[in-house]
Structure 1
């Protein structure tokens, strides 16, 4: 299966998210519907600024650099850093090298707009697909194209 790298971002919208499991989401996050809406807006923003997107395997400093910005978007529970095997939420942001798993997607969206407008730096993106074909294709692409700091 051949997928254009830019299309990975839009493919994330095509499948159910953890946010869609209403009962589970309601327990962990009462704003799950708003968060999903803003995660989709973030995907659109990244798509529009694709020239700045650098796909990565995980959000460890090895891939993002010491002061890098990164976003993890997952259709299932995922790990932001493989060295720390703690399940993360389906949305995670790293700002200036600092992880923030508690930040709401709406606030992160606004910060990303500012980041993309005010800097020329890349935005590191880690995607975790539920669909096995997309997941394998993404992993292969990252393996062949990833930048390590």
Structure 2
């Protein structure tokens, strides 16, 4: 079962999904502008949360992906942007042992800028909810509270997935 989950999550990460339903740029979240083009960023990792039955793909901008591939992530370099795209998990109709993305939940981002976000541990935190990408209304304190257990890891839960080296 674990191998099937890994396979499904890997296929999900490699596929071209993720288009947001609207063409309009969403409003800022916590004073942070929506990161246009994130749907084309590279995958850093995938995860399946069993406590709330969600699938997550963790993406990064070019700076973050380079850091993830080289193992230089504690601390993450300035200018890194990490994106987490979240769906409720669902069972595939024709492959009952496979887990796949169901309803879209949200896209959330961490923006590394130690000067600009010095009050929130060097990270700007933003979230857009639903396919409409409505800005999350609660404060960034919610994010830092949840991420406190990984403050020694530069406030990041994600372990970058190993990728084969390309020639």
Q: TM-score, normalised by structure 1?
A: 0.30
Higher Rg of the two aligned structures:
2
Structure of higher RCO (CA pairs closer than 8 Å, 6+ residues apart): 1
**Which structure dedicates a bigger proportion of its chain to strand?**
2
TM-score, normalised to structure 2's length? 0.27
Report which of the two has the higher share of helix. 1
